[in-house]
Structure 1
Amino acid sequence: MTLISFYVNFFITLFALIDPIGNVPIFAAATQSQSPASRRLISLYISIFTALILTVFFFAGLSILKFFGISMDAFRIAGGLLLFLMGLEMARGDFIETFTRADEVAHGGDPASGVQPLGHREKAKNAFEKLVVPFAFPLMVGPGTISTVVIQAGEAQKLGLLGLATGVAAICTTAFAVLLTLLFANSISRIFGRVGMVVVVRVLGLILCALSVQIIISSVSQITHNLILPSAAHPYESGTHHR
């Protein structure tokens, strides 16, 4: 494998797994109460976080899991549980309400509690703290992405130092693509409006709950040596349907 083919394959795989385009409606709903400047900062924070966590796992991911005695399947199950909790909040309508408090404080503060209005940077930091888990991790950067990074790190080592540098370049390019994608969330929010975003988020929440359950079922199936029916663990793979 050449450096160019490694870079292209790594970047395309990461971008497909992170799927920032598919996560734009969720990001738009979570930040619809933020100013354009705050949204840009939040997008920057998330892209930087993505680059940092992928780089860490690229160089030390397998060692970290081994140090704590965590298998990849256990990691996937934990990620699935976090995604389920997020999907449940989205489906119940609690997801958007979580981010309205920052908007209220930003427009005059809270005289009863003595809270002062926040600036764009403070608003962005507060919103990012709520979004980093479980939106940035593990919704965008999930167990599948991390396991792929760990596997690709092994391929990069075969190419030497240039291979490792190429891997980091692919990660940084992916993070930049995430940044560009999230910057368009403002336009998405304006197109759908508040009512439309509520509907989209609730539907996506239901889908996310189902996705998280599927992740858990697949991981449990691996752990229990296919005690769970293969058709349930991998419903759309060839050869798993009932005849």
Structure 2
Amino acid sequence: MLSFNPREILSVTMILFAIIDIIGTIPIIIDMRQKAGRIESEKASLTVFVLMIIFLFVGDQLLAIINIDVASFAIAGSLVIFIIAMELILGVRFFKEEEISSTASIVPLAFPLIAGAGTMTTLLSLKSEYQTQNIIVGIALNTIFVYLVLKNVQWLEKLLGKTGLDILRKAFGIILLAISIKLFRSNTHL
């Protein structure tokens, strides 16, 4: 029998929310929309949801095929999250942005920008701490939020303004930094 735990759902939702950082990526999404002409919110959101669900259930097996243990993947993901956090906090770009095409709703928006290595690593880590049904609800809630942000990104840009977006970016950068350190520490045996 499935039992849903509101506390677990809230924890998973908040952790994924910080990792996905859809609010912090609004400036990138705005830039992509200008270059590609339009972002297909529904397609991007559905792709994010499907990728996260697939990785939740078969991520371990995919890693086993290429002979990588979950702890190593988690440590690699923690380093990626650390770099993303530093980008947000310092306002510099370490990752080269790829050329934008008509498939921008899927690549690079849905993957790897929204559902990237950090999100996948986090899902594997969450699996060891939370019940699967609560993780699925957290994924669904985040996907709905991603969809709402993608659908209303121009309105949000006007509402928050440059200062508001900068503040959000820095705040989520600090949260991501803390998550990356926790993820690193919990997967190393020092």
TM range (shorter): 0.5 to 0.7
The gaps in structure 2 that reach 5 residues or longer are: none
Task: Return the index of the structure with the highest Cα Rg.
Answer: 1
Contact 1:90 1:205 (C-alpha < 8 Å) held by counterparts: yes
1:213 Cα deviation from its structure 2 partner: 2.5
Deviation string for 1:54-100 (max 9, x for gaps)?
332344233222223322221211111111222222233235xx77x
The aligned length equals: 183
> Where do 1:94-243 residues align within 5 Å?
94-95=92-93, 122=102, 125=104, 128-129=107-108, 132-139=111-118, 141-148=119-126, 173-174=140-141, 175-220=143-188, 224=189, 227=190
CA distance in structure 2 between the partners assigned to 1:148 and 1:21 by the alignment? 12
The gaps in structure 1 that reach 5 residues or longer are: 103-117, 157-166, 228-243
Rate the CA distance shift 1:22–1:94 in 2: closer, same or farther, 3 A. Answer: same
TM-score (normalizing by structure 2): 0.67
Contact 2:60 2:70 (C-alpha < 8 Å) held by counterparts: no
What is the match of residue 162 of structure 1? Answer: none
Deviation string for 1:164-220 (max 9, x for gaps)?
xxx98x588443454235434433321221243234324433442343233212221
Rate the CA distance shift 1:48–1:196 in 2: closer, same or farther, 3 A. Answer: same
Q: Does 1:73 align with 2:71?
A: yes
Question: What SS does structure 2 have at the residue aligned with 1:38?
Answer: coil
Contact 1:79 1:143 (C-alpha < 8 Å) held by counterparts: yes
CA distance in structure 1 between the partners assigned to 2:7 and 2:163 by the alignment? 39
CA distance in structure 2 between the partners assigned to 1:57 and 1:82 by the alignment? 17
CA distance in structure 2 between the partners assigned to 1:7 and 1:128 by the alignment? 34
CA distance in structure 1 between the partners assigned to 2:175 and 2:42 by the alignment? 27
> Which fold has the larger relative contact order, with Cα–Cα distance below 8 Å and residues 6 or more apart in sequence?
2
Contact 1:29 1:198 (C-alpha < 8 Å) held by counterparts: no
